[in-house]
Amino acid sequence: MNTLDEIERAVKDTAHYVSGNLANYANRAAGENPSGEKQVGGDVWADDLFFDALAYIDGIGAYASEERSDVVDCGEGYSVAIDPLDGSSNLASNNSVGTIIGIYDAELPASGREMVASLMVLYGPYTTLTIARSDRDVVQEHLLRDGHSERWGQFKLPSEATVVGLAGKTGERSDAFNDIAQSFERDMKLRYGGATVADLAQVLEYGGLFGYPATSGYPNGKLRVHFESAPLAYLVEAAGGASSDGSQSLLDVDPDGIHDRTPTFLGNTELVDELEAALSDG
């Protein structure tokens, strides 16, 4: 079993436990994460669980988390970047949350071109793990239940786009973005729930576009390169889709810091191309 196999096994085991115990942390408050956002108890709890599961694997050299200020030195090997509980504010309303993990063959900070694997866990009515690896030709999806993992099949982004989920208030977005968003929303069903993993899962299943643009409140976008944008871009591009920060692939974004943010768009290639063209004209 190589290091990527060990990581995949550890994520499956930990996700099983997280899925069965989320209700214990639904209404617990915590402090703030390094990005200045409010944490819930589940953020810190999940981060501790994944750190214990991943940091001690032979071949893991560093662990970076949305919930930690600095990268933890774990020895030599791959760097792990994780959002341990994406969309954690959804716990209060009993909606879906997730876990996002990027595995980098480089010291952090690093661009997405240094990634060798991406893992996305969705804790919904049932729990799934979607994984893309450099040593595999397909994006795999696994059903996690009863302490076991069952491979469901492989993901290929549908050619027909049917759903769109675009974040941000219209009054805080650019006119150029609002114009193209309105066009997309006329032609596709609206799907936005406030948890990136859950919203992207809709795009992977049905085809379409997910996006979090630059806004007046978040001029560099809200999602973080290492913990959300690049890992999900790696997965979407491996599934036959495209990613963008508005002008280039998210895998080409070269962050200066661990918690750097970027505008983030993920989905069918023709929609991403149309979005980039509209933003460049605006």
Binding-site residues, in ranges, read 66, 83, 85-89, 192, 222, 228
Half-sphere exposure of 229 (CA within 13 A, CB side): 34
Tokens of 51: 């750190």
Binding residues for substrate: 86-89, 192, 222
Residues 29, 41 contacting (CB under 8 angstroms): yes
Chain Cα centroid distance, residue 122: 10
Tokens of 79: 């760097």
Place of tokens 């080409």: 252
Supply φ then ψ for residue 59, to 5 degrees: 105, 0
Q: How many CB atoms are located within 10 Å of the residue 113 CB?
A: 15
**In angstroms, what CA-CA distances link 156 with 19, 226, 242, 271?**
26, 24, 12, 16
Binding residues for Mg(2+): 66, 83, 85-86, 228
Write b or e for each residue in 163-197: b if 16 or more Cβ atoms lie within 10 A of its Cβ, otherwise e: bbbbbbeeeebbebbbebbeebeeebeebbbbbbb
SS3 139: strand
Residues 62, 23 contacting (CB under 8 angstroms): no
SS3 22: helix
Half-sphere exposure of 272 (CA within 13 A, CB side): 26
Q: How many CB atoms are located within 10 Å of the residue 106 CB?
A: 15
Length of the chain in terms of residues written: 282
